[in-house]
């Protein structure tokens, strides 16, 4: 094992004196990044003749842990590879949800037409799949929504999703939408060497979106709990299995302008930028690029992209959900460990559409070019999109050459361009056209910003891939520094507009203001247009201006990464303001494990010489940094702005500390917040003890008064005084309005029902005694039954239809007597906020007896004592008596009219949403 590790170290960093031990950490101590560890895993499997689980890539961090994984596998020969049986393609579905305004409506549209159609086929491992149908997705979402609502999630609140690829992600995403929440995808920790930086950035996201709930996996939950001290609004860290209500919740109503998700871009820790995407944005983008590439229900999308990334989330999943084409999904770890798994999935399922960043195509070539893949057939693949990072024409050329023998057609390779601010996609070439590369003159590009076509024999020409025209309904333009539009083939700032465009960054008005230029959105990219098609030249923030010449860091970073002693893919080049002259100073940061002084000096000279050769000028500063100093995003992009900031602060390389030390720092940083939360929890617990103590002190006086006092009015007066005193002692201010609307004669009162304290709230508020209509189950306790009867309570059966009809007739006979009857018209209550459908009994009685109905709206009681909890909370209470409603007739329709009128009046004052409109019954 150690020989394999040492051999790889010498190949990755020739001449490096580091030797592996069993407990050397592969990335921190030995400098093996994620791709190098992928290569190591492949060599271990080949040397020992077995196959390790893909998860070993993330869990085995030392050679000793790799040996443990081998022992777990039993050192048995690798099993014979199962035949890659091809499956039939999907049947064509009827129509598309073109009129639906939200993702929830789109899902329901599919459930109504083909509930059992497979939506996602997920590979748990190489041979085991799980299938999720449209109906199963909707049912699971309803149960998760019910659990979230019961837990106190309010409409419009954010819920963070830190889940790995799998069916739980899909269920929870729609569960949040069903509950009226806003999903916020976040990526789990991946690199132990940068755990502190990662969690601090996630805490910044949680603070920005103010998510009260984080849903994560069991592996991440212990780390995620540290975030509660860094994000004050985070109350719960839950597992998907904890969100399984028995009764699903119907989706809450939402409009096209409601937020469908917040997609956070790669920003700094302190100022995260969450792209706010409404349902109309997401659906406009899906419809636009779906039409541009002719996506249909007979397509099959095959993806390994992580679901927290917009390409995996929106392009792969939500796009396939909309167009009714099944999504075949693999874990990102499965792809990294075995890139061929992606290709075999395309073969097995007749995959037609797949998208990936440029590095994925390069990885397939490097790992599979010399390996026979007997029987592989890629002829069904009709569109291979390449996006999310700079597209290399060399990579695409090598990929086409490598896999042509398996039926891959060169013309399916499709470079594309998009950004989160445009939901995801913005430009794509016509399908089947293939790659078009524009060769331009280097000197005029660098000095004048002009993309002049180069002669065929020009060996110094720069090459830029065409990303095609803008999506239908969208527009592009290129402007100069003054914001004036430029003609074609002039490099400038790329701007766009269209229905996919975000309205801004979530709770970040400063960043949102910088996003717009008139009614155009600023992409932050430099580009030029040629023939109406888009050519991206680089990020605006990455451009380096020195000596009147413009440079992008990408080519130099790649070249420096190829030098012996430098960690490949771990180089950052950027500019910093010059103090004494115009322009910028050029800085090169390169990770290395080299410690010898002379060897480091030689490496620095090689970097200077290489930069001078490529750019015509040497760098001003060369930093040889320890491993993991070059920070990266979740998708592997270099975070140059963060590295520049660390360089200027003098903290470059601080994240290279041992993971346990980083976690210790993080725990220390979260301690004040956790203490505040703990003090708050203690205060809440002490308040609950105080409230119940007050209730226990006053309850005996109430019982004695009810049993001993002779008249109902006198009992009610004493009960009212004690109930008001309890509210005052518990610091729950009570507001009563509309008492002037109470009739002097007989009437029927109806109230909404939100908590066990509603009867106490009404006793404290109404000046005259009322006869509560209660469920017959309360008669099981003799003392409670006697108390309620002494207060004028009437009992009805809820589950027995025949007995219920008799109860209505009995109550009708009593309705004209004193005290007036009071019905909780919903019949029951739950933790989920909202007004349920009213039962008809009270209104039938009012119609039969010709009595007015008085609506009484209760507000605040659900927050003070919610269902499922016996811990009181401090909060305001309100009772509003509404104007009485007279019955207009004596039939069924008159009762229905009374019910709707009373419900509308209560809905206007109870402060809760209408669950009937959301489909709940």
Q: Is the separation of the CB atoms in 323 and 296 below 8 Å? A: yes
CATH 1.10.1200.10 in the chain: give the residue spans.
Answer: 2-73
DSSP 921: -
Question: What is the crossing angle of helices 782-790 and 659-708, to 10°?
Answer: 60
The second-level CATH assignment, the architecture, of 438-541 is: Roll (2.30)
Give tens-digit pLDDT for 83-98: 567 777 788 888 899 9
Name beta bridge partners: 880.
Answer: 737, 857
In this prediction, residue 297 carries a pLDDT of 95
CATH 2.30.38.10 in the chain: give the residue spans.
Answer: 438-541
Percent of the chain with pLDDT over 70: 89
Confidence of residue 696 (pLDDT cuts 50, 70, 90): very high
Indicate the pairing of strand 301-303 with strand 274-278: unpaired
| Dihedral over alpha carbons 684, 686, 687, 690 (to 10 degrees) | 160
Name beta bridge partners: 773.
Answer: 794, 823
In this prediction, residue 268 carries a pLDDT of 41
User: Residue 76 pLDDT > 60, yes or no?
Assistant: no
DSSP code per residue over 852-898: -EEEEEEESHHHHS-TT--------EEEEEPPPB----SSHHHHHHH
In this prediction, residue 338 carries a pLDDT of 86
Integer CA distances (angstroms), 64 to 23, 230, 657, in order: 6, 34, 21
Name beta bridge partners: 329.
Answer: 122, 303
Q: Of 137-151, 632-646, 654-668, which gets the smallest average pLDDT?
A: 654-668
The mean pLDDT of 772-781, rounded to a whole number, is 84
In this prediction, residue 271 carries a pLDDT of 67
DSSP 243: -
User: Residue 3 pLDDT > 50, yes or no?
Assistant: yes
Comparing C-alpha atoms, which of 117, 202, 126, 132 is closest to residue 162? 202
Rounded Cα distance, 649 and 627, in Å: 18
CATH 3.30.300.30 in the chain: give the residue spans.
Answer: 563-656
Which H or E run includes 640?
Answer: helix 640-649
Name beta bridge partners: 856.
Answer: 751, 881
Name beta bridge partners: 551.
Answer: 544
DSSP 179: T
In this prediction, residue 198 carries a pLDDT of 66
Pick from 51-55, 215-219, 480-484, 613-617 the range whose average pLDDT is largest. 480-484
Half-sphere exposure of 855 (CA within 13 A, CB side): 21
The mean pLDDT of 291-312, rounded to a whole number, is 93
- Read off φ and ψ for residue 186, nearest 5 degrees: -135, 150
User: Residue 18 pLDDT > 80, yes or no?
Assistant: no
User: Residue 919 pLDDT > 50, yes or no?
Assistant: no
In this prediction, residue 869 carries a pLDDT of 78
User: Residue 578 pLDDT > 80, yes or no?
Assistant: no
For residue 819, say if its preceding peptide bond is cis, omega within 30 degrees of 0: yes
Residue 789's contacts (CB-CB under 8 Å, 6 or more residues apart) are: none
Q: Find how far residue 99's CA is from the centre of its chain.
A: 25
Output the 3-class SS for 503-572: CCECCCHHHHHCCEECCEEEEEEEEEEECCEEEEEEEHHHCEEECCEEECCHHHHHHHHCCCCCCCCCEE
Comparing C-alpha atoms, which of 435, 419, 418 is closest to residue 427? 418
User: Residue 670 pLDDT > 80, yes or no?
Assistant: no
Q: Is the separation of the CB atoms in 771 and 792 below 8 Å? A: yes
CATH 3.40.1130.10 in the chain: give the residue spans.
Answer: 698-907
Question: Over the range 432-452, which residues count as b (16 or more CB within 10 Å of their CB) and which as e?
Answer: eebbbbbbbbeeebbeebebe
In this prediction, residue 921 carries a pLDDT of 32
User: Residue 54 pLDDT > 70, yes or no?
Assistant: yes
634 by DSSP, 3-state: which?
coil
The count of other CB atoms within 10 Å of the CB of residue 411 is 15
Give tens-digit pLDDT for 417-452: 999 999 999 999 999 999 999 999 988 988 888 999
Give tens-digit pLDDT for 170-180: 999 999 999 99
Confidence of residue 639 (pLDDT cuts 50, 70, 90): confident
In this prediction, residue 799 carries a pLDDT of 46
Q: Is the separation of the CB atoms in 272 and 206 below 8 Å? A: no
Mean pLDDT taken over the chain: 86
Q: Is the pTM of this model over 0.85?
A: no
The fold of 563-656 is GMP Synthetase; Chain A, domain 3 (3.30.300)
In this prediction, residue 79 carries a pLDDT of 46
| CB-count exposure of residue 570 (10 Å: 0-12, 13-18, 19+) | buried
Confidence of residue 594 (pLDDT cuts 50, 70, 90): confident
Residue 128's contacts (CB-CB under 8 Å, 6 or more residues apart) are: none
Give tens-digit pLDDT for 472-505: 999 999 999 999 999 999 999 999 999 999 999 9
Rounded Cα distance, 235 and 873, in Å: 15
Q: According to CATH, what is the number of the domain 698-907?
A: 3.40.1130.10
Q: Looking at domain 2-73, does it have CATH number 3.40.50.300?
A: no
Give tens-digit pLDDT for 238-294: 999 999 888 888 898 899 999 999 998 754 445 678 999 999 999 999 999 999 999
In this prediction, residue 859 carries a pLDDT of 95
The count of other CB atoms within 10 Å of the CB of residue 218 is 9
Give tens-digit pLDDT for 202-215: 888 999 999 999 99
In this prediction, residue 473 carries a pLDDT of 95
Rounded Cα distance, 502 and 498, in Å: 9
**Can you list the positions of beta strands (E) in 380-491?**
383-386, 413-415, 417-418, 425-427, 437-440, 462-465, 475-479
Confidence of residue 920 (pLDDT cuts 50, 70, 90): very low
Q: Of 336-345, 548-557, 835-844, 897-906, which gets the smallest average pLDDT?
A: 548-557
| CB-count exposure of residue 89 (10 Å: 0-12, 13-18, 19+) | middle
Confidence of residue 74 (pLDDT cuts 50, 70, 90): low
């Amino acid at each position: 094992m150690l020989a394999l590790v040492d051999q790889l170290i010498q190949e990755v960093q020739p001449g490096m004196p580091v030797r592996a031990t069993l407990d050397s950490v592969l990335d921190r101590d030995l400098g093996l990044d994620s791709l190098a560890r992928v290569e190591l895993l492949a060599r271990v499997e080949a040397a020992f003749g077995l196959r390790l689980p893909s998860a070993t890539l993330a869990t085995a961090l030392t050679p000793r842990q790799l040996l443990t994984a081998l022992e777990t596998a039993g050192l048995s020969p690798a099993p014979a590879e199962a035949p890659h049986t091809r499956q039939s393609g999907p049947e064509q579905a009827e129509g598309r949800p073109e009129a639906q305004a939200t993702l929830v409506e789109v899902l329901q549209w599919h459930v109504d037409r083909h509930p059992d159609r497979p939506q996602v086929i997920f590979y748990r491992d190489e041979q085991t799949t799980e299938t999720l149908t449209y109906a199963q997705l909707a049912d699971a979402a309803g149960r998760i929504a019910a659990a979230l609502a019961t837990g106190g999630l309010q409409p419009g609140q954010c819920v963070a999703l830190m889940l790995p690829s799998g069916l739980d992600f899909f269920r929870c995403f729609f569960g949040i939408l069903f509950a009226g929440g806003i999903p916020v995808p976040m990526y789990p920790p991946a690199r132990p060497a940068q755990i502190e930086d990662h969690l601090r950035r996630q805490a910044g996201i949680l603070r920005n979106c103010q998510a009260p709930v984080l849903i994560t996996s069991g592996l991440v939950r212990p780390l995620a709990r540290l975030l509660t001290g860094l994000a004050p609004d985070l109350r719960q860290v839950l597992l998907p299995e904890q969100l399984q209500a028995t009764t699903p919740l119907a989706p809450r109503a939402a409009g096209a302008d409601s937020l469908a998700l917040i997609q956070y871009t790669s920003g700094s820790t302190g100022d995260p930028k969450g792209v706010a995407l409404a349902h109309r944005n997401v659906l406009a983008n899906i419809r636009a690029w779906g039409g541009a590439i002719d996506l249909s229900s007979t397509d099959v999308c095959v993806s390994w992209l992580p679901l927290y990334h917009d390409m995996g989330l929106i392009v792969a999943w939500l796009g396939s959900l909309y167009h009714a084409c099944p999504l075949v999904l693999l874990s990102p770890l499965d792809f990294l460990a075995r890139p061929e798994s992606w290709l075999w999935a395309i073969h097995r399922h007749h995959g037609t559409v797949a998208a990936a960043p440029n590095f994925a195509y390069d990885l397939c070539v490097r790992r599979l070019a010399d390996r026979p893949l007997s029987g592989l057939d890629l002829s069904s693949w009709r569109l291979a999109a390449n996006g999310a990072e700079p597209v290399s024409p060399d990579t695409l050329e090598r990929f086409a050459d490598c896999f042509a023998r398996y039926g891959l057609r060169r013309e399916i390779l499709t470079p594309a361009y998009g950004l989160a601010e445009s939901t995801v996609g913005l430009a794509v070439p016509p399908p089947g056209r293939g790659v078009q590369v524009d060769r331009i003159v280097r000197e005029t590009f660098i000095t004048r910003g002009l993309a002049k076509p180069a002669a065929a024999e020009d060996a110094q020409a720069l090459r830029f891939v065409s990303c095609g025209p803008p999506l239908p309904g969208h527009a592009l333009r290129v402007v100069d520094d003054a914001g004036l539009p430029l003609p074609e083939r002039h490099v400038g700032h790329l701007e766009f507009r269209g229905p996919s465009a975000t309205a801004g960054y979530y709770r970040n008005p400063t960043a949102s203001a910088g996003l717009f230029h008139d009614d155009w959105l600023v992409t932050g990219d430099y580009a030029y247009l040629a023939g109406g098609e888009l050519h991206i030249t680089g990020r605006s923030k990455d451009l380096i201006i020195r000596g009147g010449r413009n440079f992008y860091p990408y080519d130099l970073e790649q070249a420096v990464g190829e030098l012996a002693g430098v960690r490949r893919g771990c180089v950052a080049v950027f500019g910093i303001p010059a103090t004494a002259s115009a322009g910028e100073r050029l800085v090169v940061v390169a990770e290395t494990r080299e410690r010898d002084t002379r060897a480091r000096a030689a490496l620095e000279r090689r970097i200077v010489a290489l930069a001078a050769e490529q750019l015509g000028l040497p760098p001003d500063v060369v930093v040889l940094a320890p491993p993991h100093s070059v920070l990266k995003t979740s998708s592997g992009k270099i975070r140059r702005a963060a590295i520049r900031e660390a360089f200027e602060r003098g903290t470059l390389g601080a994240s290279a500390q041992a993971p346990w030390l980083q976690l210790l720092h993080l725990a220390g940083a979260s301690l004040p917040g956790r203490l505040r939360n703990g003090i708050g929890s203690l205060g809440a617990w002490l308040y609950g003890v105080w409230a119940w103590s007050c209730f226990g002190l006053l309850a005996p006086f109430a019982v004695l008064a009810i049993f001993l006092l002779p008249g109902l009015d006198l009992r009610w007066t004493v009960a009212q005084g004690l109930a008001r005193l309890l509210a005052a002692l518990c610091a729950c201010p009570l507001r009563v309005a509309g008492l002037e609307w109470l009739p002097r004669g007989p009437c029927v009162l109806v109230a909404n029902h939100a908590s066990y304290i509603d009867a106490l709230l009404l006793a404290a508020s109404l000046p005259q005694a009322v006869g509560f209509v209660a469920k017959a189950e309360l008669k099981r306790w003799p003392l409670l039954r006697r108390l309620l009867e002494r207060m004028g309570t009437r009992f009805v059966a809820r589950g027995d239809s025949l007995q219920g009809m008799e109860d209505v007739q009995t109550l009708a006979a009593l309705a004209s007597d004193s005290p007036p009857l009071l019905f909780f018209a919903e019949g029951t209550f739950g933790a989920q906020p909202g007004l349920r459908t009213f039962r008809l009994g009270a209104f039938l009685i009012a119609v039969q007896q010709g009595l007015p109905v008085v609506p009484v709206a209760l507000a605040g009681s659900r927050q003070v004592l919610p269902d499922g909890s016996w811990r009181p909370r401090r909060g305001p209470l309100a009772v509003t008596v509404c104007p009485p409603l007279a019955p207009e007739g004596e039939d069924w329709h008159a009762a229905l009219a009374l019910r709707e009128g009373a419900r509308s009046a209560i809905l206007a004052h109870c402060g809760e949403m209408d669950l009937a409109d959301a489909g709940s019954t």
